[in-house]
Amino acid sequence: MAGHSKWANIKHRKGAQDAKRGKIFTKIIKEITVAARLGGGDIDANPRLRTAVSNGKSNNLPIDNISRAIKKGTGELEGVSYEEVTYEGYGPGGVAIIMDIITDNKNRTVAEVRHLLSKYGGNLGETGSVAWVFDKKGQIILDSKSGDEDVVFEAALEAGADDFEADDGFYRVTTNPTTLIDVRDSMENSGYEIQSAEIEMVPKTLQRLEGKEAQSALKLMDALEDNDDINKLYSNFDVDEEALLQD
């Protein structure tokens, strides 16, 4: 897949570290809450909630936390009122950035995002300014220990996947957004353990960064990912291995 940068790939290898910091739990809980508020608390009847709960379980989010998040979303328990918004912007070297936000205070979040972008040589753009750089696709991540690459590849295609990629330590299965859940369920029923299954924005082409621009872009991505209000983060930049090792 030409649209996957080394930065995007390394995010999956850093997942365990993120979980220890609790960041991933916070973001999954927010996603579950919003999904339940918008589509109801019935997991079987709410595809977005079903996906969020599945990702929570894959990341060892306690069942009690999942249940409370659903009840807060449906109003059975008192909870924070979240709203969703998508921001688009530019990073070092003019690379494209999309940020899917879930926040209880949009003014606070946009101020924080503007500050981080400015700090690392970027700026906030207008709605639609960079969305055209990306395609919406389903992305399923499995640990490479799940099985032999050729066997998993065949299983993914039989399940209805559009593409398959093996990287260092994990497999990525790409689907049409409308078939993501069906493909995930089919692979789970075949005995494969899914790390995550989400609809993501995949860049059509990559922009190569080197030197200080690459380092600034990596620092910016880390800072944005550390923001609890940024639910999903996408960019079209790629960097060399040396920049990743220095990060």
CB burial of 111-143 (b: ≥16 within 10 Å; e: otherwise) equals ebbeebbeebbbebbeeeebeebbeebbbbbbe
> 3-state class of 247 per DSSP?
coil
Q: Give CA 133 to chain center in angstroms.
A: 17
Q: Quote the pLDDT of residue 18.
A: 55
Asked if residues 160 and 186 have their Cβ atoms less than 8 Å apart, the reply is yes
Q: What is the pLDDT along the chain (247 residues), one digit of tens a residue?
A: 445 666 665 565 455 455 555 778 889 999 999 999 999 999 999 999 999 999 899 888 999 999 999 999 999 999 888 999 999 999 999 999 999 999 999 999 999 999 999 999 999 999 999 999 999 999 999 988 888 999 999 999 999 999 999 887 889 999 999 999 999 999 999 999 888 899 999 999 999 999 899 999 999 998 998 898 999 999 999 987 665 555 4
pLDDT of residue 134: 95
Q: Is the Cβ–Cβ distance between 172 and 139 less than 8 Å? A: yes
Amino acid at 208: R
Question: All domains of the chain, ordered by start, with CATH?
Answer: 6-74 (1.10.10.200), 83-131+204-246 (3.30.70.980), 133-202 (3.30.70.980)
Q: Residue 79: its pLDDT value, please?
A: 82
Alpha carbon distances (Å) from 183 to 84, 177, 178:
27, 10, 10
